[in-house]
């Protein structure tokens, strides 16, 4: 079992402050994702999501050479030879990515270099993607004779639409950063030496917002992406209850007093 609090492990976290970090740390393999890495990710993600000091999580790499080059190809031969491994690997990937997509708190992927295959899938499950303008993107199961999972395919379609998703998946081609941004796969591009500062600056903007609002809005967006078309009793109550929350009282008071609000709700 990987200790996700150990900065020497292939996956580690940094918490205890408003901007938390989930770091992929296998630079010698360009962060190729092993089953062991996928297996530890849910606990690492949840540790940041339940850290009372963390407001936003940045998912990134310990190296500026690659976010992740994708699956550990050598391990795929072992998985192919063992039906139990095929299922355990599938479930490990699914659990990691669903946990990331369904965090309460906002997440931003900070992407350098190659962002391919499973690594690209991990980035797609973050709320936002900030990338170096030298980054490259690809989802390559068609190059390996594999099939992309339904959950991952749906996330890709949500971002880029079905036609672009088919173009990417049918060919397994590599996209440069400009094309990835043009089709909606990436939200913002920066020079490599500016990326960390720009990502953190935007994360701090989110951290300064009402976390009651951010988490409620994120939960509402998740319901829409999951297929909900109109309010139900729970979402109607969310709208009403916000008006009497401590953050709403502070926000209104700060507006009237012409000052910046000091939101204290931390969920």
Task: Give one word for 16, left, alpha or beta, with left for phi > 0 and alpha for psi -120 to 50.
Answer: left
Q: Which tokens is 169 given?
A: 């998946």
In the CATH scheme, what architecture does the domain 209-256 have? Orthogonal Bundle (1.10)
Whole-number Å distance between alpha carbons of 184 and 155? 12
Whole-number Å distance between alpha carbons of 153 and 28? 29
CB atoms within 10 A of CB 182: 13
CATH number, domain 11-207: 3.90.226.10
Percent of residues in the chain assigned helix, strand, coil, to nearest 5: 50, 15, 35
Rounded to 5 degrees, what angle do the CA atoms 107, 110, 111 make? Answer: 135
Whole-number Å distance between alpha carbons of 204 and 90? 35
The domain spans of the chain are 11-207, 209-256
Whole-number Å distance between alpha carbons of 93 and 126? 14
Q: From first to last of its 267 residues, what are the pLDDT tens digits of the chain?
A: 456 778 888 999 999 999 999 999 999 999 999 999 999 999 999 999 999 999 999 999 999 999 999 888 888 888 888 888 889 999 999 999 999 999 999 999 999 999 999 999 999 999 999 999 999 999 999 998 999 999 999 999 999 999 999 999 999 999 999 999 999 999 999 999 999 999 999 999 999 999 999 999 999 999 999 999 999 999 999 999 999 999 999 999 999 999 999 998 887
Whole-number Å distance between alpha carbons of 205 and 154? 29
């Amino acid at each position: 079992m990987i200790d996700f609090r150990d900065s020497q492990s292939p996956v580690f976290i940094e918490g205890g402050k408003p901007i938390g970090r989930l770091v992929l740390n296998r630079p010698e393999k360009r962060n190729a994702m092993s089953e062991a890495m996928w297996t530890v990710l849910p606990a690492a993600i949840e540790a940041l999501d339940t850290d009372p000091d963390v407001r936003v999580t940045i998912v990134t790499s310990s190296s500026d050479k690659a976010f992740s080059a994708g699956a550990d190809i050598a391990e795929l031969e072992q998985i192919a030879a063992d039906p139990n491994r095929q299922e355990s690997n599938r479930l490990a990937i699914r659990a990691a990515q669903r946990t990331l997509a369904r965090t309460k708190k906002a997440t931003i992927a900070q992407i350098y270099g190659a962002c391919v295959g499973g690594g690209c899938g991990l980035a797609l499950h973050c709320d936002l993607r900030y990338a170096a303008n030298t980054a490259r993107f690809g989802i390559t199961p068609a190059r390996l004779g594999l099939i992309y999972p339904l959950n991952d395919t749906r996330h890709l379609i949500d971002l880029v639409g079905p036609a672009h998703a088919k173009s990417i998946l049918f060919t397994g081609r590599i996209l440069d950063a400009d094309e990835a941004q043009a089709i909606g796969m990436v939200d913002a591009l920066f020079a490599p030496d500016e990326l960390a500062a720009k990502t953190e600056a935007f994360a701090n903007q989110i951290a300064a917002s009402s976390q009651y609002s951010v988490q409620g809005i994120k939960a509402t967006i998740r319901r829409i992406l999951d297929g909900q078309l109109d309010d139900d009793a729970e979402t109607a109550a969310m709208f009403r209850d916000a008006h009497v929350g401590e953050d709403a009282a502070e926000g209104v008071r700060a507006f009237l007093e012409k000052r910046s609000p000091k939101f204290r709700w931390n969920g």
